[in-house]
Chains A and B, each alone.
Chain A
Amino acid sequence: MADLTDENIRHAHSDTTRRDFLMLTAGALGAVAVGATVWPFIDTMNPARDTLAASTTEVDLTPVAVGQRLTVAWRGKPVFIDHRTTAEIKTAREVDIAQLRDPQSDAERVKKPGWLVVVGVCTHLGCIPLGQKTGDDRGPFGGWFCPCHGSIYDTSGRIRQGPAPANLAVPPYEFTGNATIRIG
């Protein structure tokens, strides 16, 4: 064995740090390489280009009378279009916003007061609320009622009771004419 002169100890010591450094950098690079190799596999599971592409829907609103509701499909999901009555608009606007779980005024949620356009997917766990068909249970706020776990939405599609955390989402849409909209 080499004797423990100061010189030897210093060498041994600097050797260890050099080795540590190499181990650390090799380890870090290895981790990056593994990550870079795994990522393409993970990313194959994200929405593919064709899925992302197919996503606008044109709707003609002329046949929808005041008080009627229409369901259209957008990106495979239902979109609820509600031609609201003046009474419905009024109740939606009289609510004290501070009381709401997901505070939003009705004006923020519509482009024209008469037309409410929302994604018809419950923000709890994704069921489709009732209220689109005549005779459906609309819940005590006159909007929609989700049968799965009892979430209740008002005439602005805002969450009022039940387990859902947020209001029905407003999809991106535009009025392309007086009575036509393009969703997406």
Chain B
Amino acid sequence: MADVHRGSGSRIIRWIDHRLPFMAMMQHELYDYPTPRNLSYWWNFGSLAGIMLVIMIVTGVFLAMQYTPSASLAFDSVERIMRDVNYGWLNRYAHANGASMFFAILYIHMFRGLYYGSYKAPRELLWMLGVLILVLAIATAFMGYVLPWGQMSYWAATVITSLFSAIPLIGQGIVTFLWGGFTVGDPTLHRFYALHYLLPFIILAVVLLHLIALHRFGSNNPLGIDMKGPQDSIPFHPYYTIKDLFGLCVFLLIYAFFVFYAPNFLGSPDNYIPANPMQTPNHIVPEWYLLPYYAILRSITFSILGIPAKLLGVIFAFGSLFVLLIVPWLDTSSVRSSQFRPIYKWLFWVLVIDVLALGWVGANPPQGIVVTVGQIATLYFYVHFLILLPVLGKIERPRPLPSSIAAAVLGDAAGVAAPAAPMGRS
């Protein structure tokens, strides 16, 4: 049937496809691709992330045509984009808010994975590639934020690169190397620009690997059980192409709201003050999507076993990403979906609240109650992953799993081979 379909293409396409089976591949991966029939809207965020990455690259390339990566000219060139370049304001606001949208999508996508156990065998590498994408996106956004060369750009760059000075012996050397000088300056801006242009394309390559790993076993689903036969799946097109498209429209409305009605809501006003190496703003805060890591970093105010607080803070902040990387082995339960895990289901929501609390801590000056909340939330984050997840798998009694996706979705009758029993439990 697929062949007939392809046959209906023009002879030129068939000629090419015979030599370079690109259309056949697309047909196989995007058209016929069997997908669980029960995917919910939480499964929209993967394709949204991909589209958002493309939007970032397109807006970024057009910004790059107007932007000047030099300490004396960068700020003014961004202001020129905003005031003089045709639709420059639109392009820049789309890029700056696009970064926020990209992270919102990634985080929802990842929490979805945590809730439905999408990281469990055989999808461990799929998950780890996802964490790698997050790490690369963080590096990209951090360097992008330095480019407008405002006060927050400059001081965020200073504080974050200085983290490396916590490394014993070679730390200061590494920082000087990263800066290409004795402070964040012109050489730093140049290299950040070069890397900011490069990294999204590396992300694109990792996304490709992510997709290859995904299509090896197909999507997980809200029930967390494997597809066992054709009755459990439907073709990707038209069912999920249309669902993804609908989700995209809703998402674009939200994105457009920020771009057109609240373009600076998510940013810091201090970044409209040109960088001043002689004066630190009173309150340095990263963009919202980096607040939880920043909160962990600041929460370690004491040394353990002679390791100084500064180094520990760095270790724990990066450690939060490392913990995510090894989640497939920390979670000892063989049941994927939280729907069948009565205790984990609640712990998941406690973790969500914990991460939101860390975000709140990161946004506020580290005084009084903020410090205490930060330390408790940091501790709980690690307890969740390093203690609760491994132990829970051993002691929790999961609810019975349905015999198949079709059985759960359409009633028991549909799951069995003989389609003779029309009256399942509907």
Contact = CB atoms under 8 A, between A and B. Distances in A.
A98 interface: no
User: In the complex, which of the residues A73, A128, A163 has the most CB atoms of chain B within 10 Å of its own CB atom?
Assistant: A163
A47 B183 CA distance: 10
B180 A126 contact: no
A165 B283 contact: no
A151 to B, nearest CB: 10
Given A51-B182, A150-B366, A46 B301 contact: no
A146 to B, nearest CB: 8
B183 A75 contact: yes
Contact of A163 (B158, B279, B282, B310): B310
Interface string B149-183: 00000010011011101000000000011111111
Contact of B278 (A46, A71, A150, A165): A71
User: In the complex, which of the residues B155, B176, B280, B309 has the most CB atoms of chain A within 10 Å of its own CB atom?
Assistant: B280
A47 B282 contact: no
Contacts of A127: 155, 158-159, 280, 284
B243 interface: no
Contacts of A148: 159, 280, 284
B158 A125 contact: yes
A77 B181 contact: no
A147 B181 CA distance: 24
Interface in B358-383: 366-367
A46 B163 contact: no
A4 B313 CA distance: 64
A76 B181 contact: yes
A147 B155 CA distance: 12
Interface in A40-74: 45-48, 51, 71, 73
B45 to A, nearest CB: 34
B180 A48 contact: yes
Given A46-B180, A125-B163, A51 B155 contact: no
B267 interface: no
A56 B291 CA distance: 39
A127 B310 CA distance: 14
Contacts of A126: 158-159, 161-162, 165
A162 B181 CA distance: 27
Given A75-B183, A76-B181, A126-B159, A163 B280 contact: no
B298 interface: yes
Contacts of A78: 277-278
Given A126-B162, A128-B279, A148-B284, A47 B182 contact: yes
Contacts of B185: 76
Interface string A146-170: 0111100000000000011100000
A93 interface: no
A155 to B, nearest CB: 21
Contacts of A147: 280, 282-283
Given A76-B182, A127-B280, A147-B280, A163 B159 contact: no
A76 B189 CA distance: 15
B180 A77 contact: no
Given A77-B183, A148-B280, A47 B158 contact: no
Interface in B131-165: 155, 158-159, 161-163, 165
A45 B180 contact: yes
A46 B283 contact: no
Interface in B179-196: 179-183, 185, 187, 191
Given A48-B180, A127-B155, A128-B279, 8 more contacts: A45-B178, A47-B180, A73-B278, A125-B165, A125-B310, A127-B158, A150-B366, A165-B309
**Across chains A and B, which 5 residue pairs bring their CB atoms closest together, nearest first?**
A126-B162, A125-B162, A127-B280, A76-B183, A75-B182
24 contacts: A45-B178, A45-B191, A46-B176, A47-B180, A47-B181, A51-B187, A75-B182, A76-B277, A77-B183, A78-B277, A78-B278, A124-B162, A125-B159, A125-B162, A126-B165, A127-B155, A128-B279, A147-B280, A147-B282, A147-B283, A148-B280, A148-B284, A163-B313, A164-B310
